[in-house]
Amino acid sequence: MNNTVRIFDTSLRDGEQAPGYSMNIEEKVRMARQLEALGVDIIEAGFAIASPGDFASVEAIAGAVERPVVASLSRALVKDIDAAWSAVKGAKSPRIHTFLATSDLHLEYKLKMSRDQALARAVDAVRYARNLCGDVEFSLEDASRTDRDFMCRVVEAVIDAGATTVNLPDTVGYATPCEIHDMVANVMNRVPNIDRAIVSMHCHDDLGLAVANTIAGIVAGARQAECCIAGIGERAGNAALEEVVMNLRTRRDVYNLSYNVRTEEISKTAQLLSSITGVKISPNKSVIGRNAFAHESGIHQHGVMANAKTYEIMTPESVGVKKTALVLGKHSGQHAFGQRLADLGYGDLDKGTVDKLFAEFKVLADRKKTMEDRDILALVEAETGRVSGENDWKLVNYVVSSSNKMFSTACVTLSRGGKETTESAFGTGPIFASIRAVEKLVKHPFALEDFQIQAVTERRDALGEVSVKITDSSGTYRGRGVSTDIIEGSILSTLDAVNRMFNGASSALGSGAASSVQHSYEDDDLLSGRTDR
């Protein structure tokens, strides 16, 4: 049997479906390029028929990566399969991934179909897809709750119809590792043509068993693992890619299987996802959490110093976490800064970007004394995601006054195309007031959907990293800003989002974007008691 486990990343499809993780096309393409650098074998780029934005993202990713297979999901319907194919056909290695539920529960209540009807539909869909594309995956949705004999019939029939990969998902995260092992072993042993396809796992984490179940399936013969960076995905998420791969790497003595992922890219990939979506990685998260390699207790520290293997089963370097003792500050030169960027995995930035980053670094280092790696990462992430056009709004200056007894006021000056304008506004707090002043200046109403502020490091002089989501009738736009001052960070992040909004609908977030904005920026809703913006 083939000894390589194919890593199928679905962060941009299943992962992106989860609330808080929607990404626009440009962000998905950046993520896809990093997934390629990580070495994943297959990128599931989206669900082409779901929306025009999804279609465009799948198409853009198909054209943006070289080595990985690019897949689009599709229901077992001709129009879905057609959409999937037209979105992925430009890829070097395209795949159509079609699915149909096979459990009695889903057949009876959701699809209102008999088993025989479902079998016929699955075969028709696979045959149709295979006439378009040489690489076809079929998923038996809710496989783990599907009758085992019926599963074997479906698997055999879809392989005969041309499926090259057959996925057996634990869609609802219900199965135990022993059950998954039995399920896969049953298919491997009983389906006569199983050697003509690759069996795949797709496990959800509702009971915290996604990775264990994925590995159990691999032990029983599955050779594709569908997973997401940081385990994102529907509900409790999918199997975490970094955990599946690091299990295979760390316990090679047990599994003796290979993979094409370059584990040294794991940390950077997780950071990128977190910076794009604004969702922080939990400190104790396996493999990629900030504390995953931190040894706190004295006994552990003593052991690690004597021999790292005492408490360290894998090295931070193996997942791309670099230890650096040198701290950068305002006296650091561009060479040292460039070197640190390269150490942090950003050696490939163009000179213009590095110059810009260095200029911002100097401004912050002047205010903040020392710049840690996390500060530099926050800066890079805010800058490299920036959408910039000629007519962008830029912050010139601002003044706020804030009090516990009255409204806060903000006076903000912005420039656009060299012309400066000033507005003032008030609000229940200084951030609210500043954002309202920005809204008045740009003369375009928007609603604030989400606002998060986070200290990048622990100390008092920490940088504040602000991420916002704003919505207008064209969609939802994310913005980020980093500053030693939270008001400045808030204005910068709002301007970042506003500039995305004015740079066109192509940067709107793909899904889940609310689109009704009822209020106008001219409404003095504060005075009428409405402060829910």
Kindly indicate which of the ranges 10-18, 115-123, 272-280, 479-487 contains the residues binding Mn ion, using the contact rule CB under 5 A: 10-18
Kindly indicate which of the ranges 11-19, 185-193, 268-276, 387-395 contains the residues binding Mn ion, using the contact rule CB under 5 A: 11-19
Nearer to Mn ion (CB atom), residue 161 or residue 172: 172
Tell me how far, at minimum, the Cβ of 243 lies from Mn ion, in Å.
Answer: 16
Task: Give the Cα separation of 64 and 87 in Å (integer).
Answer: 13
Residues 337-356 that bind Mn ion (CB under 5 A): none
Nearer to Mn ion (CB atom), residue 14 or residue 392: 14
Question: What tokens does 525 get?
Answer: 């809703």
Tell me how far, at minimum, the Cβ of 476 lies from Mn ion, in Å.
Answer: 23
Nearer to Mn ion (CB atom), residue 202 or residue 340: 202
Nearer to Mn ion (CB atom), residue 228 or residue 288: 228
Kindly indicate which of the ranges 9-17, 65-73, 120-128, 418-426 contains the residues binding Mn ion, using the contact rule CB under 5 A: 9-17
Nearer to Mn ion (CB atom), residue 14 or residue 59: 14
Tell me how far, at minimum, the Cβ of 252 lies from Mn ion, in Å.
Answer: 28
Tell me how far, at minimum, the Cβ of 134 lies from Mn ion, in Å.
Answer: 25
Residue 70's DSSP bridge partners are 43, 94
Contact indicator for 317, 264 with CB cutoff of 8 Å? yes
| 3-state SS class at 75 | strand
Nearer to Mn ion (CB atom), residue 237 or residue 445: 237
Nearest to 433 by CA among 407, 470, 462: 407
Task: Give the Cα separation of 310 and 369 in Å (integer).
Answer: 37
In the shown chain, the binding pattern of residues 84 to 103 toward Mn ion, with x for contact by CB under 5 A and - for none, equals --------------------
Tell me how far, at minimum, the Cβ of 42 lies from Mn ion, in Å.
Answer: 15
Task: Give the Cα separation of 517 and 500 in Å (integer).
Answer: 17
Question: What tokens does 7 get?
Answer: 């890593």
Tell me how far, at minimum, the Cβ of 23 lies from Mn ion, in Å.
Answer: 17
Dump the DSSP string for 12-34. Answer: IIIITTSTT----HHHHHHHHHH
Nearer to Mn ion (CB atom), residue 158 or residue 201: 201
Nearer to Mn ion (CB atom), residue 14 or residue 80: 14
Kindly indicate which of the ranges 14-22, 38-46, 95-103, 423-431 contains the residues binding Mn ion, using the contact rule CB under 5 A: 14-22
Question: What tokens does 43 get?
Answer: 């990128």
CA distances from 500 to 24, 57, 356, 381 (A): 11, 17, 19, 16
Indicate whether 14 belongs to the interface with Mn ion (CB under 5 A).
yes
How many residues line the site for Mn ion (CB under 5 A)? 1
Indicate whether 9 belongs to the interface with Mn ion (CB under 5 A).
no
| Nearest residue to the partner Mn ion, using Cβ | 14
Nearest to 269 by CA among 381, 167, 352: 381
State the burial class of residue 255 (Cβ atoms within 10 Å of its Cβ: 0-12, 13-18, 19+): middle
Question: Could you tell me how many helices (H) and strands (E) the chain has, helices first?
Answer: 17, 16
Contact indicator for 319, 287 with CB cutoff of 8 Å? yes
Tell me how far, at minimum, the Cβ of 185 lies from Mn ion, in Å.
Answer: 22
Nearer to Mn ion (CB atom), residue 14 or residue 41: 14
The 3 state secondary structure assigned to 143-198 is HHHCCHHHHHHHHHHHHHCCCCEEEEEECCCCCCHHHHHHHHHHHHHHCCCHHHCE
Tell me how far, at minimum, the Cβ of 423 lies from Mn ion, in Å.
Answer: 47
Tell me how far, at minimum, the Cβ of 111 lies from Mn ion, in Å.
Answer: 17
Judged by the rule CB under 5 A, the positions of this chain that interact with Mn ion are 14
